[in-house]
Amino acid sequence: MKLFHTFENLPDDVRGAGIAIGNFDGLHLGHLGVIRQLKEECNARNTPLGVLMFDPTPFNFFRPDSPSKRIMSLKRRIKILKNAGVDIVWALPFDAEMANRTDSEFVEQVLVKGLGVSAVSVGFDFCFGKKRMGNTDTLQALGDKFGFDVFVAQKIISQGAAIDVEGEVLKTSSTQIRELIAAGDMKTAKLLKQDYWVIEAIVEHGEKRGRTLGFPTANMKLIDYQHPKHGIYAVWTKIAGESDWRKGVANFGRTPTTGERDPLLEVYIFDFDDDVYDKELEVAFVEYLRPEEKFDDMNALVEQMNKDADLAKQILSVADKPLI
C-alpha cells in the first residue's frame, strides 16, 4: 500500500483512483461501509482503491489547546486499511490553506486536479469545505460537473451502524466510541469497532516503584489519545518487534496511593520481565475491572493488585485476541 501526505505532483499510477473520504478515526462499521461500497466499484472498474483523510485533523487545527480526542493513531489506521484491501492512503495535513478552501475549490484543486479521482465514496452526513459549507448534494453536483461518480453510504450506515446493547440502540460513530472509552465501557466500544480499542505509546523510565512491589510495569503517557476512565483494565499487549499478544493488567490514572501525578498508563505484563524501556507497546483494552482508589498502606495495595491480576487472567483466558 502507498502512503502520501500531499495531493500535488503525484505519479501517474495513483491518479484515477476511487477514493473514500472521511476522518476514519476508529474505523468503525460505518467507516468500513463507506470503504466497502467503493471497493466493489473499484474492483469492477479495475482502478485502485484509495482513502483520503486528514492528519492532523480539523479538530486539532481549530482547537489546538484542547485535549486530544483521537481514538486511533495514523499508524494503526493505515495497518487496518491495508488489511481491508486499500491500495493508497492520502493523509493530508489540515492547515489554514485547506481550511479556507470552499467546497468547489476543494473538489477542483484537491480531488480533480490533484488526485484525478474517478469515483468518491462518503458517509450520509459528510460535510466539507470552508465552514462545512458543502454536503453530499453539493458533492454530487460537483461530481456531475467534473465527471466523477459519487456514492453515498446511506443504506449501509442506516442498516449496519446501530447496535442494540441491553435495550439501548447505539449509533456507530466516532463520538459514541469516544464516550464509551471515557466511561470505561470497552465491551460496547469493541462491538461498535468490531475490535478492541488499541493505543500505541513509548515506554518511559519511571520511578521503578512497581518492581519493589512485585509488579514491574511499563509506563506510558497517552498524549494524543482520548483518555479512558481512570481505573484498572484487563489488557492485551504487543511489544514492538513481536508478532503475538501478551496478557496483562493495566492502571490508567494518577496513582493516589503513591502520590498523585499526571495521568499515566501502567501495564503489568504477565510472565514477562525483560527490559522494554524506549520500546513501543500496543495495548488493547479488554475490560474495565474497577475504579482507581487510594489504599491505607502498601500491603493493602499489593493485596488488591494480586486480586486484579487474577481477575484479568480469568477474563483473558477466554477473551479473543485483537484482530490486527
Q: How confident is the model at residue 230 (pLDDT cuts 50, 70, 90)?
A: very high
Maximum CA pair distance of the chain? 72
Q: Does domain 2-158 have CATH number 3.40.50.150?
A: no
Residue 260 predicted with pLDDT over 70: no
| Domain segments of the chain as ranges | 2-158, 162-318
Residue 262's pLDDT is 86
Predicted TM-score (pTM) of the model is 0.90
Residue 205's pLDDT is 86
Residue 158's pLDDT is 36
CATH fold of 162-318: Elongation Factor Tu (Ef-tu); domain 3 (2.40.30)
Any idea which of 11-15, 56-60, 79-83, 256-260 has the lowest mean pLDDT? 256-260
Cα 183 to its chain centre, rounded Å, is 17
Q: How confident is the model at residue 173 (pLDDT cuts 50, 70, 90)?
A: confident
247 — phi, psi (to 5°)?
-80, 150
pLDDT (tens digit per residue) in 51-100: 999 988 888 889 888 888 999 999 999 999 999 999 999 999 999 999 99
Contacts of 70-74 with CB under 8 Å at 24 or more apart are: 70/25, 70/224, 70/225, 70/226, 71/25, 71/26, 71/174, 71/177, 71/178, 71/181, 71/197, 71/225, 71/226, 72/25, 72/26, 72/27, 72/198, 73/199, 73/200, 73/224, 73/225
Residue 254's pLDDT is 86
pLDDT (tens digit per residue) in 94-114: 999 999 999 999 999 999 999
Query: Kind and range of the H or E element at 183?
Result: none
DSSP label at residue 128: B
Percent of the chain past pLDDT 90, that is, above it, reads: 72
Residue 15 predicted with pLDDT over 80: yes
Outline where the chain has alpha helix (H).
29-45, 58-62, 74-83, 96-99, 103-105, 136-146, 154-160, 174-182, 186-193, 209-212, 298-318
> Is the model more confident about 83 or about 258?
83
Residue 45's pLDDT is 94
DSSP label at residue 256: T
User: Average pLDDT, stretch 284-289?
Assistant: 98
Residue 255's pLDDT is 79
